[in-house]
C-alpha cells in the first residue's frame, strides 16, 4: 500500500515559512503557513496554518498527484485522502479531493484542539483533468483561526489507514488513542528489492546478528485504530500470519511493548510466501 503523496508527513522544508516541499500554499485574505515543531502528531514537523479575522478568509495547502502516471490512468479509479488534523472549533477544517471539474469534501474536524483522523473518498471521473488534494482552514466568525496538519496520505481505494509505515521499520509511533485495542496489518502487496541488507542469524530474543547482501521482499504496514472484530477487511493470509493486537489499559501508556512481526525479509532460499523468517518489533505507545 503506497502513499501517493510526496512529503505527506511534512518533514521536508527548504523554506520553513513558505510551505513544505512539494506543496503549494494558497487561499484568500490574511493567511500564512509555517513549519511547526511543537504541535506535531508524529516525527519532527507538522504544518501550522493561520487565517485572519475577516469572515471568508481561508488557507489551503495543495499538491497534485496525477503527473507520474497521467490522468487517464486514474479515470474510473477511486482514491481516498486522509490525515491528522487539529483545530480549536468545529466547522473550520476539512479535506478536499478536486479532479478539475468538482470536488469531494470530508466531514469537518469536530474541534476541541485535539488531533483527529479525517478522510474523504472520490472516484475520478472520465472528464477529470487533474487530481489535486488539500486541507482547507477557514474563518467564519470574524475571529482568526489556527489549525495543524500532519501525516497526510492518499491511497487508491476506499479505505485509508491512519498512518502508512514502511514494513522495514520496527518502531511504530501510534499517537494518542483511547481505543481498547490497536491492530496493525501489513498490506498484502509485495515489492521485490534486490541487493539490500539481509540478516541471516537471529537470536531467540529477536536481536539481529550477521548481515549479508541478498534479496528481500518489501511491504508496507498501515496502522489503523479498530476493534479486532473488524479484522475481516484484510487478506486472510495476512490476518493469520501477521496480525498484531495490543490491548491498552486506561491511563498513560509509557511501557515499551514488544511483539512478533511477520518478517519483511525473504530468506535467500525461498521464493514464495509464507516465509519462515521472523523478526521482533518494538512498539512504543504514547499516553492518552
The ranges assigned to domains in the chain are: 24-156, 163-284
Contact (Cβ atoms closer than 8 angstroms) between residue 46 and residue 147? no
pLDDT tens per residue across span 27-51: 999 999 999 999 999 888 999 999 9
pLDDT at 70 over 50: yes
Query: What does the pLDDT look like over 106-133, one tens digit per residue?
Result: 999 999 999 998 999 999 999 999 999 9
pLDDT tens track for 78-109: 898 999 999 999 999 999 999 999 999 999 99
Residue pLDDT, tens place only, 141-192: 888 999 999 989 888 876 555 544 333 332 333 333 443 333 433 333 333 3
Look at residue 140 in the predicted model and tell me its pLDDT. Answer: 85
| Cis peptide, bond prior to residue 13, ω within 30 of zero | no
Strand 93-98 with 132-138, pairing: antiparallel
> What is the pTM for the complete model shown?
0.59
Alpha-carbon radius of gyration of the chain: 21
Distances 67 to 46, 64, 73 between C-alpha atoms, Å? 25, 7, 10
Decide if pLDDT at 10 tops 70. yes
Per-residue model confidence (pLDDT) at position 108: 97
- For the cut 80, the answer to whether the pLDDT of residue 19 exceeds it is yes
Residue range 24-156 forms a domain whose CATH class is: mainly beta
Best CA proximity match to 123, nearest among 159, 74, 83: 74
Amino acid at each position: 500500500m503506497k502513499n501517493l503523496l510526496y512529503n505527506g508527513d511534512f518533514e521536508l522544508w527548504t523554506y520553513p515559512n513558505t510551505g513544505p516541499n512539494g506543496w503549494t500554499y494558497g487561499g484568500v485574505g490574511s493567511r500564512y503557513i509555517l513549519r511547526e515543531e511543537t504541535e506535531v502528531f508524529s516525527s519532527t514537523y507538522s504544518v501550522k496554518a493561520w487565517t485572519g479575522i475577516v469572515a471568508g478568509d481561508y488557507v489551503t495547502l495543495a499538491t497534485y498527484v496525477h503527473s507520474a502516471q497521467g490522468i487517464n490512468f486514474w479515470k474510473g479509479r477511486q482514491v481516498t485522502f486522509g490525515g491528522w488534523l487539529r483545530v480549536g472549533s468545529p466547522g473550520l477544517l476539512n479535506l478536499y479531493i478536486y479532479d478539475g471539474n468538482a470536488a469531494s469534501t470530508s466531514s469537518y474536524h469536530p474541534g476541541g484542539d485535539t488531533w483527529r483522523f479525517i478522510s474523504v473518498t472520490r472516484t475520478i471521473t472520465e472528464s477529470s483533468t487533474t487530481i489535486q488534494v488539500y486541507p482547507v482552514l477557514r474563518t467564519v466568525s470574524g475571529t482568526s483561526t489556527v489549525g495543524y496538519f500532519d501525516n497526510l496520505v492518499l491511497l487508491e481505494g476506499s479505505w485509508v489507514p491512519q498512518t502508512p509505515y514502511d514494513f522495514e521499520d520496527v518502531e511504530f509511533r501510534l499517537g494518542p488513542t483511547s481505543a481498547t485495542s490497536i491492530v496493525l496489518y501489513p498490506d498484502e502487496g509485495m515489492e521485490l528489492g534486490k541487493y539490500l541488507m539481509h540478516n541471516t542469524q537471529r537470536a531467540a530474543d529477536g536481536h539481529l546478528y550477521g548481515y549479508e547482501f541478498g534479496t528481500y521482499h518489501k511491504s508496507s504496514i498501515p496502522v489503523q485504530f479498530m476493534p479486532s472484530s473488524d479484522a475481516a477487511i484484510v487478506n486472510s493470509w495476512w490476518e493469520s500470519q501477521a496480525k498484531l493486537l495490543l490491548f491498552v489499559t486506561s491511563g498513560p501508556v509509557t511501557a515499551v511493548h514488544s511483539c512478533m512481526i511477520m518478517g519483511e525479509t525473504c530468506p535467500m532460499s525461498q521464493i514464495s510466501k509464507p516465509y519462515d523468517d521472523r523478526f521482533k518489533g518494538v512498539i512504543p505507545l504514547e499516553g492518552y
